[in-house]
Amino acid sequence: MREGEKEESLGDSFRQSRKEFLVMVAAWAVFATWTTIYVGRNSSSEPGEPLRLVLGMPDWVVFGILIPWGFGLAFTMWFSLCFMRDTDLESISEEGEKE
Amino acid sequence: MSALVSFAIYLLFVFVLAAVANRVGKDKGFLKEYFLGSRTIGVWAFALTYAATSASGGSFMGFPSLIYTHGWSLAWWIAGYMVVPLIALGLMAKRINQVSRIAGAITVPELLRRRFGSSLVGNVATLMLIFFMFFYLMAQFKAGAQIMATILEGVPLYTEAVFATEALFDGVPWIGQAEGDYLLCLAFFAVSVIIYTTYGGFRAVVWTDVMQGLVMGVGVIILLVMTLSQVGGLGKATQELSKMTPPEFLDVVVEREDPDVAEEMRIPRGTWILTRDQEVIRLKSAVVVVSGEAASEPVEAIRLTSAGEISRVKESGKLLRGGFAKVSGEVETYAYGAGKPGVYTSTPGPSRDNPMGFLTVFLALSFFVFWNFSGAGQPSYMVRQMAFKNTLTLRRSMAMVAVYFSLIYFPLVIIFTCARVLLPGMEIYPDRVMPEMAQAVTSSAGMPWLAGLLVAAPFAAVMSSVDSFLLLVSSGVVRDIYQESINPKASEKQIKRLTYGVTVVVGVLGMIAVLQPPVFLQHLIVFASAGLGASFLMPMIFALYWRRTSGIAIVAGMVAGAITILSLYLVGMLKTGKFGDYPFLGLHPFIWAVMISGILIVLVSLRSKPPGNSIQEKYFGKAESDGSDPASPIGK
């Protein structure tokens, strides 16, 4: 079977799940990059350096963690409530179940 | 005492829920009901059982102790949780549920066994699950016992019971070596969880998880408000934290003030003492100067080094001004951060052992990977993903868990950075900072009864994890070993009895194993999570998403993941002499294990015979079980 035919033979729900899988991994990579680069570059402190506070926290916590956390929350809401598609799982007959 | 009453009411609710769950599940098929709640778990139950199981003793005991010890750097350490609901919950849930229904599987090893039509795959998965899960159980049992001990401390009846327990088991091998308070609390905690889990099964576990999840959420929010109010605002606390320097560890000898007094002198652990040199120290264990002796044996203690902390302890009136303690032997300072103000408000954070500091960039990135992908690879979550009712439940639950985790984890960082200001000297037993903090802030606010609810939060976290793990291990033994390999024709009555028996035996074994408690709670939890994640993440991803994957490749991937974790922990232990991982090239062992596992699965699959067309069609094709509706409107 050629690659194109193989892809054709895949179920729609499987292909949709695979697409969602890739979007989730891509989103994770974006947030990991943001946090790692920002905090990695801005969170160390030299002796005598003044503490910069934003909302009562060190500024690197706000810009490198709290704000991306807010975006992560918003993305998760959008992804789960708007992007993800429903699949009819309840109609699947459970074959071969030992009970 | 009032805290104890609130706590007792909470426990009573747990038992009532278990009893009701048992009655509800009575008319349904035993195994699917007992281990999977008959796949009828709805939004609230699915979201909160997932969140509560995830937020274990690590989240409420180990994590707070790390925040307290290393400061704001823990915000970076936990940052991966910003997308944990997306990855750990969403990444495979839909496919796991679908494939488990097609296969008729009710446990994770069974799913893998049926997906590949291979007993070897199922047996290896069962072994991995039982092995690593047992370490997890040990850690949770210890956490549960510690919380109980904090709640009961000072209750007269409890104190008497502790003495009686010590007397009863004195000289008994293994059991007699444990401290009386720990032994008593461990027994109470373990017996409580074993009873309700055994009686109620998965449905009871899920229902109690829902209640425990709510208790945790409410507990954290109340604690946050009270903490910020008592510390005078977050900005003030962070400013104070930026001036702090880590304490020093030392041994002290306590001498009698009056050498002519001959009777035994006892000073409880945790006592603050002003030394002859006007230094403020805190005892890590109780001091006893026996009659006839002039001084005690050396005991471990910490010495404060920050002026602000020293003056707060002096002002608190807790200081024992005897002038009779003196430092004995070497003083140990932090390997990174000693005498360095600002170390608690910057990265890498102070470290007692590592001269590079607590959290390097590579390690922080490792944890961003770890929380998400190790979470996705935990069998305890996978089994919940097999149990939700439909995809609408999954989608709404993801949104709900995202909000819930945001309300739990980031506030915990705020609370326990402030705890450094409110509760100095907790380095003597950092794992107890959460219950101590709950008691301290509620007492200061004149509401000691509220401590019961706040302490119930970590207790709920521990309980909700232990019950899930107990069920996972017993399902592994009953379904995947006994029913699959020993007695496939076992009657429902036999299975039922065996299931109850195994759940009790596993719980009791876990309790016995932690009679000598492991020292590093969080390390044990991370080890068990890493081992499970390394063994199951890549095999499950490939099983669900790559139809060319072969059964033997899955076995190779599971074994390679587990061996990599074990090896890097062994190297860590050989290098440091303590239980801990070896971050090869600065990366957590989990990263290496997952990479090796994934590469092996691909290589072995490509070199082995592909699965038959019928299997490929069944799990990946346009079979009748494929219930997707491509025309379904987005966001429905």
The interface predicted TM-score (ipTM) is 0.89
pLDDT tens for A31-45 read: 999 999 999 999 988
CA-based nearest distance B546→chain A, Å:
10
pLDDT at B296: 83
pLDDT band at A1 (very low <50, low <70, confident <90, very high): low
Range from A71-80, B120-129, B250-259, B369-378 carrying the lowest mean pLDDT? B250-259
CB atoms B340 and A76 under 8 Å: no
Contacts of B488 in chain A (CB under 8 A): 98
**Residue B470 pLDDT exceeds 90:** no
Cα–Cα nearest to B541, from B601, B500, B480:
B601
- Please tell me which residue, B364 or B139, carries the higher pLDDT value: B364
pLDDT band at B625 (very low <50, low <70, confident <90, very high): very low
Residue B206 has pLDDT above 90, yes or no: no
Whole-number pLDDT of residue B226: 94
Cβ pair B233, B255 in contact under 8 A: no
Q: Does A17 touch chain B (CB under 8 A)?
A: yes
Residues B179-191: what's their mean pLDDT?
Answer: 85
pLDDT of residue B153 exceeding 80:
no
Q: What's B2-236+345-519's CATH class?
A: mainly alpha
B104 or B150, greater pLDDT: B104
Residues in chain A with CB shorter than 8 Å from the CB of B83 are 27-28, 31, 72, 75-76
Residue-wise pLDDT tens digits, B55-96: 766 677 778 999 999 999 999 999 999 999 999 989 999 999
Is the previous residue joined to B448 through a cis bond, with omega within 30 degrees of 0?
no
Other beta carbons within 10 angstroms of residue B493's beta carbon come to: 9
Residue with tokens 């502790």: B162
Q: Is the pLDDT of residue B239 over 70?
A: yes
Q: Do A20 and B396 touch (CB under 8 A)?
A: no
Q: Among residues A21, A65, A80, which one has the least CA distance to residue B403?
A: A80
pLDDT confidence tier of residue A80, bands split at 50, 70 and 90: very high
Instruction: Give the gap in angstroms from C-alpha B243 to the nearest C-alpha of chain A.
Output: 10
Greatest mean pLDDT range, A39-53, B399-413, B462-476: B399-413
Least trusted range by pLDDT, from A72-76, B220-224, B554-558: B220-224
**A21-30, A31-40, A86-95, B208-217: which range is least confident on average?**
A86-95
* Contact status of A8 with chain B (Cβ, < 8 Å): no
How many beta-carbon pairs below 8 A join chains A and B?
233
Mean pLDDT: which of B139-148, B396-405, B450-459 is highest? B396-405
Please report the pLDDT score of residue B419 as a whole number. Answer: 94
What mean pLDDT do residues B600-608 have?
A: 96
Q: Region B235-264: what's the mean pLDDT?
A: 87
B85 and A44 in contact by Cβ < 8 A?
A: no
Confidence class for position B169, pLDDT limits 50, 70, 90 = confident
Check pLDDT > 70 for residue A95.
Answer: no
| Residue B477, token pair as written in the block | 């033994």
Q: B67, B83, B390, B397: which to substitute to probe chain A, counting the most A Cβ within 10 Å?
A: B83
Q: What integer best gives the mean pLDDT of chain B?
A: 84
More confident residue, A17 or B151: A17
- Taking contacts as CB-CB distances below 8 angstroms, the residues of chain B near A80 are 86, 90, 394-396, 398-399, 402
Sort out which chain A residues have CB atoms less than 8 A from B372's CB and list them. Answer: 28
Residue A18, pLDDT score: 93
Buried/exposed B376-394: b ≥16 CB within 10 Å, e otherwise: bbbbbbbbbbbbbbbbebb
Q: Per the CB < 8 Å rule, is A82 touching B635?
A: yes
| Contact status of A18 with chain B (Cβ, < 8 Å) | yes
> What is the structure's pLDDT at B521?
67
Over residues A20-27, mean pLDDT: 96
The better pLDDT of the pair B540, B296 is held by B540
Note whether A42 contacts B: Cβ–Cβ < 8 A. Answer: no
Considering B311-320, B469-478, B551-560, B574-583, the range whose residues carry the highest mean pLDDT is B551-560
CB B453 within 8 A of CB B222: yes
DSSP state of B272: E
Residues in B closer than 8 angstroms to A12, CB to CB, are 622, 626, 628, 630
The DSSP secondary-structure symbol of B344 reads T
pLDDT given at position B19? 80
Q: A90 CB contacts (<8 Å, ≥6 apart)? A: B389, B390, B627
In this prediction, residue B616 carries a pLDDT of 84
Residue type (1 letter), B446: G
**What integer pLDDT is reported at residue B630 of this predicted model?**
37
A51 and B392 in contact by Cβ < 8 A?
Answer: no
Of A17, A65, A77, the CB nearest to B94: A17
Cα B532 from Cα B379, distance rounded (Å):
7
| pLDDT value, residue B628 | 42
Residue contact B630–A16, C-beta within 8 A: yes
Interchain pair B617, A93: CB under 8 A: no
For chain B, give every domain's residue range. Answer: 2-236+345-519, 247-332
The pLDDT of residue B631 is 35
Q: What pLDDT score does B56 carry?
A: 64
Name the most confidently modeled range: A69-73, B436-440, B578-582: A69-73
Between CA B287 and CA B217 the distance in angstroms is 39
The residue in chain B having the minimum alpha-carbon distance to the alpha carbon of residue A32 is B368
A33 touches chain B (CB under 8 A): no
Q: Which long-range contacts (CB under 8 A, 24 or more apart) does A28-31 make?
A: A28/B83, A28/B86, A28/B87, A28/B372, A31/A68, A31/A71, A31/A72, A31/B82, A31/B83
Does residue B634 surpass a pLDDT of 50?
no
**Gap from B600 CA to chain A (nearest CA, Å):** 21
Q: How far is B177 from chain A (nearest CA, A)?
A: 45
d(C-alpha B503, C-alpha B506), whole Å = 5
Per-residue pLDDT reduced to its tens digit, B480-521 = 888 888 888 888 788 878 888 888 888 888 888 888 766 666
**A25 to B92: CB separation less than 8 angstroms, yes or no:** no
A positions 53-72 inside 8 Å of B (CB):
53, 55-58, 60-61, 64-66, 68-69, 72
Contact B399 A69 (CB under 8 A): no
Residue A6, pLDDT > 70, answer: no
Which chain A residue has the Cα nearest residue B83? A72
Over residues B416-436, the mean pLDDT reads: 89
What's the pLDDT band for A47 if we cut at 50, 70, 90? confident
Best A52, A92, A93, A95 member to test B by mutation, with max B CBs in 10 Å, is A92
Q: Can you state the angle between helices B551-576 and B589-607, rounded to 10 degrees?
A: 150
**Hey, are the CB atoms on B396 and A98 less than 8 Å from each other?**
no
Question: Integer distance in angstroms from the first to the last C-alpha of chain A?
Answer: 38
CB B613 within 8 Å of CB A9: no
